[in-house]
Structure 1
Amino acid sequence: MDEFLVGEIIPVPYMFAPEGTLYCDGQEYPVQLFQLLFALIGFTFGGNGSSTFRVPNLKGFEPNPNVHYVIVTDGMFPDRY
């Protein structure tokens, strides 16, 4: 996933989340496992306020039933200016 930026949301036509991504389904994840993604989105979408955070929930916003949104966890870290 080196061609994508961490935190980038992309549509995929698969029934699985490709390696280096997570479904955008509002799930909660440990900060320690996804530190780069957490550094960008923090607790914006929820979490327990210390050790877990949530990814955005885009279920129901897909352009068709065979497309799912994923968020990149393993890619290039975006520059901050």
Structure 2
Amino acid sequence: MTTPFIGEIQIFGFNFAPVQWAFANGELLRITQNTSLFALLGVNYGGDGRVTFRLPNFTGRVGVSQGQGPGLTDRALGDTVGENTVGLIWDEMPYHTHNLQAYPQPATDPGPKAGAGLGGPRSARLYSAAASPNTALFPAVVNPIGGSQPHENRQPVLALNYSIALYGEFPQFN
């Protein structure tokens, strides 16, 4: 392997950081022990800038280029954006409908049977044979549900080891 640039980030398929490399996991380092790396990274990823600075943190994240593409938000070096989970609000849900189908079924049956009755959980009493016309349906049939629980919001990924070179060649500015 050629001599890396100080601060170069590589992806490795093994579970350790090579000699003179560190995991890119947001570790807090002392400036006095890593002056060259601090000169390149500064406090873009955290730290107080007097005694400490942080390495980039790729734990559970993917990299994205700094700058701004057409129609995209500007990203500065070290910005972290996005969420692992998100709860949808009404304005974010696409318009959709749910069909309700009813079939004759004796009210004494403990739950829906194939081809008969209203579909729903066995514990819910969805209708009654003794109900008069224009009786409201059981509220769970037509009311919103969901419990406001957030849902997974990550693209498919493959877990690999992101490491950053602590030593090597100091890159020349262009």
Larger Rg: 2
Tell me what 2:40 maps to: 40
TM-score normalised by length of structure 2: 0.43
Selected match of 2:169 from 67, 76, 80: 76
CA–CA distance in 2 between the matches of 1:74 and 1:2? 12
CA–CA distance in 2 between the matches of 1:27 and 1:16? 15
For the pair 1:64 / 2:158, whether they are aligned, the reply is yes
CA–CA distance in 1 between the matches of 2:35 and 2:41? 10
CA–CA distance in 2 between the matches of 1:15 and 1:69? 10
- Cα 1:55–1:41 change in 2 (3 A) is same
The offset of 1:18, in angstroms, is: 0.6
Q: Which has the higher contact order (CA 8 A, sep 6+)?
A: 1
CA–CA distance in 2 between the matches of 1:33 and 1:14? 26
TM-score normalised by length of structure 1: 0.87
Q: Which runs of 5+ in 1 are unaligned?
A: none
Offset from partner CA, 1:42-69 (integer Å, 9 cap, x none): 111110230100001111236522x210
Structural RMSD (CA): 1.6
Offset from partner CA, 1:18-39 (integer Å, 9 cap, x none): 1111111111010111111101
Q: Which runs of 5+ in 2 are unaligned?
A: 63-156
Residue pair 1:2, 1:76 contacting (<8 A) in 2 also: no
